Amino acid sequence: MSRFHVSITPEPDSYTSASNKGSQFHSSGLPYATTNPNSHLNMSSSHNKYSVLLPTYNERDNLPIIIWLLTKTFEENKLDYEIIIIDDNSPDGTLEIAKQLQKVYGENHIVLRPRAGKLGLGTAYIHGIQNATGNFIIIMDADMSHHPKAIPQFILKQKERDYDIVTGTRYISGGGVYGWDLRRKLTSRGANFIADLLLNPGVSDLTGSFRLYKKDVLHHIINATVSKGYVFQMEMMVRAKQFNYSVAEIPITFVDRVYGESKLGANEIVGYLKGLWTLFNSV
Ligand X SMILES: Nc1nc2c(ncn2[C@@H]2O[C@H](COP(=O)(O)OP(=O)(O)OP(=O)(O)O)[C@@H](O)[C@H]2O)c(=O)[nH]1
Binding site for ligand X (CB under 6 A): 55-57, 59, 86-88, 118, 120-121, 124, 141-143, 145, 257, 262-264
Query: Which of Mg ion, ligand X, none does residue 80 bind to, with CB < 5 to 8 Å depending on kind?
Result: none
**CA-wise closest residue to 154 among 248, 44, 55, 66:** 248
SS3 (DSSP) at 83: strand
- CA distances for 186 relative to 109, 165, 183, 231, angstroms: 38, 27, 5, 16
Q: Rounded distance, CA 240 to CA 221, Å?
A: 7
Give 50 or 125: the residue with its C-beta nearer to ligand X.
125
The one of ligand X, Mg ion, none whose footprint includes residue 137, by CB under 5 to 8 A per kind, is none
247 binds, among Mg ion, ligand X, none (CB under 5 to 8 A by kind): none
Integer CA distances (angstroms), 161 to 25, 59, 158, 190, in order: 11, 36, 6, 31
Binding partner of 82, given Mg ion, ligand X, none, CB within 5-8 angstroms per partner class: none
Q: What contacts 86, CB < 8 A, 6 or more positions away?
A: 53, 54, 55, 56, 113, 114, 115, 124, 125, 127, 128
* Plot region of 31 (φ>0 → left; ψ -120 to 50 → alpha; else → beta): beta
Which of residues 99 and 118 has its CB atom nearest to ligand X in the complex?
Answer: 118
Contact status, residue 39 vs residue 118, Cβ threshold 8 Å: no
Return the residue of 88, 143, 235, 249 that touches Mg ion, per CB under 5 A: 143
6/112 with CB nearer ligand X: 112
- Check binding of 257 to Mg ion (CB under 5 A): yes
Minimum distance, C-beta of residue 282 to Mg ion, in the bound complex (Å)? 28
The listed partner (Mg ion, ligand X, none) that binds 207, CB under 5 to 8 Å by sort, is none
Q: How far is the CB of 57 from ligand X (least distance, A)?
A: 4
By CB under 5 A, name the binding residues for Mg ion.
141, 143, 145, 257
